[in-house]
Amino acid sequence: MSSNGKWSEADVPDQSGRIAIVTGANTGIGYHTAAVLARCGAHVVLAVRNLEKGNAALARIVAAQPQADVTLAELDLSSLDSVRAAADALRTNYPRIDLLINNAGVMYTPKQLTADGFEMQFGTNHLGHFALTGLLLDHMLGVRGSRVVTVSSNAHRFRASIHFDDLQWERSYDRIAAYGQSKLANLLFTYELQRRLTAQQKNTIAVAAHPGTSNTELTRNLPTILKPANALLGPLLFQSAAMGALPTLRAAADPDVEGGQYYGPDGLGQQRGYPKLVQSSAQSHDEELRRRLWAVSKELTGVTFPV
């Protein structure tokens, strides 16, 4: 850690020999996470929906770091068929996986459904990653120091609850509350996965992180009323995607990280700054909520976990 006590990408230890899968790695937080891990010696798989954008990201990483060992995998988290196909290919190619970084996400989308009929934000941000993790986990459990890192958001506190009576927002739709539900689900999933891993004393840990307010493509679906303010204030309020990636990188690579922890920026309101251990909402630690969401997610995806 630097002399000012701030953890930065310079603190990422050597990642040689590690296999890291990063979802949504063609842009924003995922891209910077993948680029740093590759620079530190990991073999990084960019798991992306759009292969053209993925190839462009791969080319950028290799141009900056010719020794980088980076490959591409096609993954559309809004389709369980795609998740299963991607998981099959990854399992074939990688008998051992050190890092699974569940980073991809959509935010504030207009009302739309995934290929399987789930509300887009819940289906992509939570259920897609739940299914992917379950399908890959047995290739991680025997690997010392392996981690599942899931990217949440400050939005898990904002008008967020798990609407079990209408998970897919069929009665009415609120894009902000739906995003909050999906990000709360990311944390409930992380904490319940960690509980199960601990119960079986596995090598793998589950950790969560959030990027604060970062300048990424996620804001493209902001409600129209907010777009002028975002254009005006964004550059002042938002930190770079490279800074926003630091909590994810710390959760993935800091040797002192423990299972069930949550990392975010150290600045005012966790909006920006260097990564530190932070606390999530009381609701995100509700054991009954965690168990209920896990059971529903298992039922909706048809994916069972080896823990």
Q: Residue 217: how many CA atoms within 13 Å on its side-chain side?
A: 11
Using only C-alpha atoms, what is the Rg of the chain? 18
Separation between Cα atoms, residue 300 and residue 196, nearest integer Å? 20
How confident is the chain (307 residues) per 10-residue block, as mean pLDDT? 86 98 98 98 98 98 97 98 98 98 97 98 98 98 97 94 97 96 98 96 94 70 56 67 97 98 95 97 98 98 97
Q: Which of the residues are catalytic?
A: 179
Residue 205 and residue 194 in contact, taking contact as beta carbons nearer than 8 Å: yes
pLDDT reported for residue 201:
82
Domains of the chain and CATH, by start: 9-301 (3.40.50.720)
pTM of the predicted model as reported, rounded to 2 decimal places: 0.93
Q: What is the pLDDT of residue 214?
A: 79
Taking alpha carbons only, the member of 204, 191, 199 closest to residue 150 is: 191
